[in-house]
Amino acid sequence: MFGIIFNLGVISGLTQGKVGVYVGVIAGCSVFGALGSFLAIKFGDPLIEPVLSAIGCAALIALLMTPLTTVKSYIKIGAMVLGAVLGWFIATKIKRYIRAGVTAFIGAFLIFKGIGSFAGNFPSFNEDSLKS
């Protein structure tokens, strides 16, 4: 939020280097960030795993059905909807395991991304390096 406010020049004191304005904007961004985090945890926690699992299963079915050119598009959409329902159902039954698996996957990705930024010669994930 601070980066957006600073780069868009919404508050003129930031570009002039006034310390009081910096402190005020950072404090305001911290309050809004804490409030957003609290609301996300309060209202989003029971639904986050089922929603993400439903989206993930629908995307997986779309990916698996991409090479099938003879299948009609409405059948693909129906399969994606069924996959989303299946993902929702599975996520509500095994929420602990999904949370552990996703956390491990994201952690492993971030560890290797961090190692690659310091050690070098690790695969990059930006689009330009993947094309070559």
- Is 99 inside a domain boundary? no
Domain count along the chain: 1
- Is 69 inside a domain boundary? yes
Task: Please say whether the beta carbons of 97 and 105 come within 8 A.
Answer: no
pLDDT of residue 85: 93
Chain centre distance of CA 117: 21
Question: pTM score > 0.85 for this model?
Answer: no
pLDDT (tens digit per residue) in 75-116: 888 999 999 999 889 888 887 787 777 778 778 877 877 777
pLDDT (tens digit per residue) in 18-28: 777 777 877 88
- Is 104 inside a domain boundary? no
pLDDT of residue 81: 92
pLDDT of residue 129: 53
Boundaries of domain holding 34: 2-93
pLDDT of residue 99: 73
- Is 101 inside a domain boundary? no
Q: Which two tokens stand for residue 37?
A: 């985090």
Alpha helices by DSSP H, listed for 9-132, are 12-15, 19-65, 73-93, 95-119, 127-131
- Is 38 inside a domain boundary? yes
pLDDT for residue 70 is more than 70? yes
- Is 130 inside a domain boundary? no
Q: Which long-range contacts (CB under 8 A, 24 or more apart) does 107-112 make?
A: none
- Is 106 inside a domain boundary? no
**pLDDT higher for 123 or 60?**
60
Distances (CA, A) of 117 to 16, 106, 120, 130, 131: 33, 16, 6, 16, 19
